Amino acid sequence: MKESYNWILKQLPYSEPFLFVEEILNITNKGAEGYYTFSPDTDFYKGHFKNNPVTPGVILTECCAQIGLVCLGIYLLGQKTELENVRIGMSSSQMEFLQPVFPGERVKVVSELVYFRFQKLKCEVKMYNEDDKLVCKGVLAGMIGVANA
């Protein structure tokens, strides 16, 4: 039976139109794997680029961060318990872009934990397109914790 990670999705501090996590396939203490489909109706496609829409690199980075860093951080903090007041902040990103992502494409993000200590989480991330070609890769880091209510 496939494990449900809905408890993690409920903890994400994002909503449409800035939610870039559709499904979490697998998550462990060592990394996360999930999917997102870029809707062709998303507003940023109207101007990036004229007559040739492509998903901006900053959005690809955000998708990698939400699936590979934030979902993993919530898992590591929560271990299947309800968290309140999750606080997240990106502290660094180093990404390399290799393939374009077009409107309507579904991507898979895979992350591997580098470290998690003193509320700082660092991961290596990779994004693949539907043809299993590497779209982008890099190292993302951020601060994640639970604020006192």
pLDDT tens profile 72-120: 999 998 864 556 667 788 889 999 999 999 999 999 999 999 999 988 9
Give the pLDDT confidence score for residue 45 in this predicted structure. 94
What is the pLDDT averaged over residues 38-57? 93
Percent helix, strand and coil across the chain, each to the nearest 5: 20, 40, 40
What whole-number distance in Å separates Cα of residue 149 and Cα of residue 146? 9
Give the pLDDT confidence score for residue 137 in this predicted structure. 98
Give the pLDDT confidence score for residue 149 in this predicted structure. 52
Give domain limits for the chain: 6-146
Q: Are residues 114 and 122 in contact, defined by beta-carbon separation less than 8 angstroms?
A: yes
Average pLDDT, the chain: 91
At 55, is the pLDDT very low, low, confident or very high (cuts 50, 70, 90)? very high
pTM attached to this predicted model? 0.92
Give the pLDDT confidence score for residue 90 in this predicted structure. 85
Residue 1 has pLDDT above 80, yes or no: no
Place of tokens 């990698």: 64
State both tokens at 106: 């579904």
Give the pLDDT confidence score for residue 73 in this predicted structure. 92
The class (CATH top level) of 6-146 is alpha beta
Compute the radius of gyration of the chain from its Cα atoms: 15
Give the pLDDT confidence score for residue 87 in this predicted structure. 74
Give the pLDDT confidence score for residue 114 in this predicted structure. 98
What is the pLDDT averaged over residues 19-32? 96
Residues with catalytic roles: 48
DSSP reduced 3-state for 124: strand
Give the pLDDT confidence score for residue 148 in this predicted structure. 61
